[in-house]
Amino acid sequence: MRKIKVGVIGVGYLGKFHAEKYAAMAEAELVGVADTNPEQAAAVAQKCGTKAFADYRELLKAVEAVSVVVPTSLHHKVGMECLASGVDMMLEKPMTTTLAEADELIALAAADGRVLQVGHLERYNPAILAMEQYLTQPLFIESHRIHSFKPRGTDVDVVLDLMIHDIDIVLSVVNAPLATIHTVGVPVVTPLTDIANARLIFENGCTANITVSRISKENIRRLRIFQPRSYLSVDYAKKEIMVIRLQNELTEAGLPKEEIINACFVEQDALEAELRDFVANVRTRAVPRVSGQQGRNALAVAQQIMDQIRENAERYSHLLRNP
C-alpha cells in the first residue's frame, strides 16, 4: 500500500503529538514539520526522523495532506493556503474564529474536491465510539468537562477552549434542530469566560445541560445520556462506558430487571485513531467523521453561547451600576 505523504504545520504542545503519530504509521510518510519557532521545528523533526521547514508553504509543495495545529486565529489563513495548494487538511478545533471564515474553507474544499476534516478529538474516544450502538432516543444529556487551570489555551473563551468538544458530541447524538439556548458564564482567572453552563433544548424535546470549567482543582470529563428504558454513562478520561438497560422481565419487587454493560478501552489512542482515519479519508476520498460542515455547526452553537453570555454580562453590569 502506497504511503500517503503528510506533514504537520505547527508543532507546539499538540502538534508535536500529531507528528509523532504520523511518524509511527505504516500507511503514512511524515515528510516534514513546520513551525514559526525554528528550534521547536528542528527538535520535533529530529525526534520523528523527518525534515524541519522554516516556511510551511515549502512543506505544502512536498505533501498530499497536512495537520494544521496553529493558533485558531491563523486557521483560516493557513487553511486557505493549504487547500489552494491542492493539499487535504486535518484542521484542529475550533475550526475558525468566525462562521464566514469556516464557510470559505468549506466552499474551497468542496470546489477543489479536497478532504477537510476538523479535529474534534472526543469523537474518536473509544468509549464514545462504543456508545453509539446503544443510542436510541436521547431525552436528557448531562455533560461535565472540569479542568484544572493551565495558562495554555486561555487566549480564547472556555466555550471555544473546552465546551466546543461537548457541543460537537451533543450535536452528533441528537438528531434534531436546536430550538433554544440558555447560558451563564463568568470570568474568574482570565479576562475571558472561565466557567460556563449552557442548556440546549432541541425541537424534538431533548435537553442537553453542558458545564465546563478551567479553574477547578480536579479534572472531570463525563457524559450521561438518559433515554427510554436505558441510561448511558461515559468517562472520557478513563475511556469507560456503562450502559444500563431495563428488561421486560420483572424482579420479585416488581421492578424491571436491569442489564448492565461495562467496558473499558484504556489501550486505545483517540488521536492515533483520528489521524489514521484522516489518512484513510485522503486515500479513499471519503467524507470525514467530523467534516468541515460539522465543525462549522459546532462553532455556530459555540458562538451563540458566547454571544448570550456576553449579552447577559452587559445586562447585569448595567443593573449593578444603576441599582
Least confident of 127-131, 213-217, 229-233: 213-217
The total of structural domains in the chain comes to 2
Q: Is residue 275 part of a domain?
A: no
Residues 104 and 130 both lie in one domain = no
Q: Is residue 302 part of a domain?
A: no
Residues 198 and 219 both lie in one domain = yes
CA end-to-end span of the chain: 71
Closest CA to 143 of 200, 216, 182: 200
Average pLDDT over residues 296-315: 92
- In this predicted structure, what is the pLDDT of residue 318? 59
- Cβ count within 10 A of residue 292: 27
Give the three-class secondary structure for 296. helix
| Rounded CA separation 120/25 (Å) | 20
Helix (H) or strand (E) holding 165: helix 164-173
221 pLDDT exceeds 70? yes
- Identify the domain boundary among 87, 114, 141: 114
Contacts (Cβ under 8 Å, ≥6 apart) of 81: 56, 57, 60
Q: Is residue 274 part of a domain?
A: no
- Identify the domain boundary among 96, 114, 132: 114
Q: Where residue 156 falls among pLDDT bands split at 50, 70, 90?
A: confident
Q: Is residue 286 part of a domain?
A: no
Residues 103 and 133 both lie in one domain = no
Residues 247 and 143 both lie in one domain = yes
Q: Is residue 233 part of a domain?
A: yes
- In this predicted structure, what is the pLDDT of residue 192? 86
- Output the pTM of the full model: 0.92
Helix axes 99-112, 75-84, angle to 10 degrees: 10
Q: Where residue 321 falls among pLDDT bands split at 50, 70, 90?
A: low
Average pLDDT over residues 199-219: 95
37 pLDDT exceeds 60? yes
266 pLDDT exceeds 70? yes
Residues 85 and 127 both lie in one domain = no
- Cβ count within 10 A of residue 152: 9
Residues 133 and 181 both lie in one domain = yes
Residues 231 and 251 both lie in one domain = yes
- Identify the domain boundary among 48, 80, 114: 114
The CATH number given to whatever domain includes residue 23 is 3.40.50.720
Largest interatomic CA distance in the chain: 72
Residues 104 and 158 both lie in one domain = no
Question: Domain limits at 56?
Answer: 4-114
With beta carbons less than 8 A apart as the criterion, state whether 264 and 239 touch.
yes
Per-residue pLDDT tens over the stretch 269-295: 999 999 999 999 999 999 999 999 999
- In this predicted structure, what is the pLDDT of residue 253? 85
Residue 174, Cα to own-chain centre: how many angstroms? Answer: 16
Per-residue pLDDT tens over the stretch 42-70: 999 999 999 999 999 999 999 999 999 99
| Rounded CA separation 161/225 (Å) | 23
Q: Is residue 318 part of a domain?
A: no
- In this predicted structure, what is the pLDDT of residue 319? 54
Q: Where residue 314 falls among pLDDT bands split at 50, 70, 90?
A: confident
Would you put residue 2 in left (φ > 0), alpha (ψ -120 to 50) or beta? beta
- In this predicted structure, what is the pLDDT of residue 300? 97
Q: Is residue 273 part of a domain?
A: no
C-alpha cell at 163: 465546551
145 pLDDT exceeds 70? yes
- In this predicted structure, what is the pLDDT of residue 117? 98
Residues 178 and 52 both lie in one domain = no
Q: Is residue 321 part of a domain?
A: no
Residues 127 and 101 both lie in one domain = no
Residues 96 and 133 both lie in one domain = no
Least confident of 26-40, 105-119, 250-264: 250-264
Residues 196 and 91 both lie in one domain = no
The CATH number given to whatever domain includes residue 141 is 3.30.360.10
Average pLDDT over residues 159-167: 95
What secondary structure does DSSP assign to 65-105, as a single string?
EEEE-S-GGGHHHHHHHHHHTT-EEEEESS--SSHHHHHHH
